[in-house]
Structure 1
Amino acid sequence: MLVLSRRIGEKIAVGNDVVIEILSVSGEGVRLGIIAPKETSVHRYEVFVDIENANRAAEDAVNDIKKSSLKLLSAHFQAGQKK
C-alpha cells in the first residue's frame, strides 16, 4: 500500500487519466475531488463491494437458470427419442 501525505489543494495522479485532489479536511473526514474518464467507475469502497456482491448473485442466478433449462431441454429430447 502506498501511503501519501497531501494538503488541501494538492493532487495525486493515478495512472494516466485519473487525478484525485484534496478539497477539504474536517475533523476525521476528508473531501476528495476525482477527475476520471466517463468510462471509469468511481465509487466509495462500501458501494463497490455491494455492487460486486449483487453482480455475483445475479451471475449465480443466471447460471442456475441455465443449468435447470439444460436439464429440462435434455429431458424433453430424451423423452422424444423414446417414442
Structure 2
Amino acid sequence: MLILTRKQGESVAIGDDIQVTVVEIQGKQVKLGVKAPREVAVHRQEIYEKIQQENIRASQVQDLDLSELRQVISSESQKADKGGK
C-alpha cells in the first residue's frame, strides 16, 4: 500500500483519469473529492462490500420450481375459457 501525506486542497493522481483531492479536514474526519470517468465505479468501502455480497447472493439464487406457476397459469386459462375471472 502506498501511503501519502496530503494537506487540504492537495490531490493525488491515479493514472491519467482519476484525481483524489483532500477537500476538508475536521478533527478526525477527512472529506475527499474524487474525479473519475463515469465508467469508473467509486464507492465507500462499506458500500462496495455490500454490493459484492449482494452480487454473490444474487448469483446463488436457486432454480425456481415452475410447476406451481404452470398450475396457476393453467387455472387462470381455464377460468378465461369458461368466461369467469
Query: Shorter-chain TM-score category?
Result: 0.7 to 0.9
Corresponding position of 2:59: 59
SS of residue matched to 1:3 = coil
Which structure dedicates a bigger proportion of its chain to helix? Answer: 1
- Unpaired runs of 5+ in structure 1? 70-83
Distance in 2 (alpha carbons) for counterparts of 1:15 and 1:58: 33
Q: Confirm whether residue 25 of structure 1 aligns to residue 25 of structure 2.
A: yes
Mapping for residues 67-82 of structure 1, pairs under 5 Å: none
Corresponding position of 2:8: 8
- Unpaired runs of 5+ in structure 2? 67-85
Distance in 1 (alpha carbons) for counterparts of 2:15 and 2:54: 28
Q: Normalising by the residue count of structure 2, what TM-score does the alignment of the two structures yield? A: 0.72
| Number of aligned residue pairs | 66
Structure 1 segments, 4+ long, off by >3 Å, are: none
Q: Normalising by the residue count of structure 1, what TM-score does the alignment of the two structures yield? A: 0.74
Q: Deviations over 1:11-68 (max 9, x none)?
A: 001122100000110010000010000111100000000000000000011xx328x7
Corresponding position of 2:83: none
Identity level (%):
35
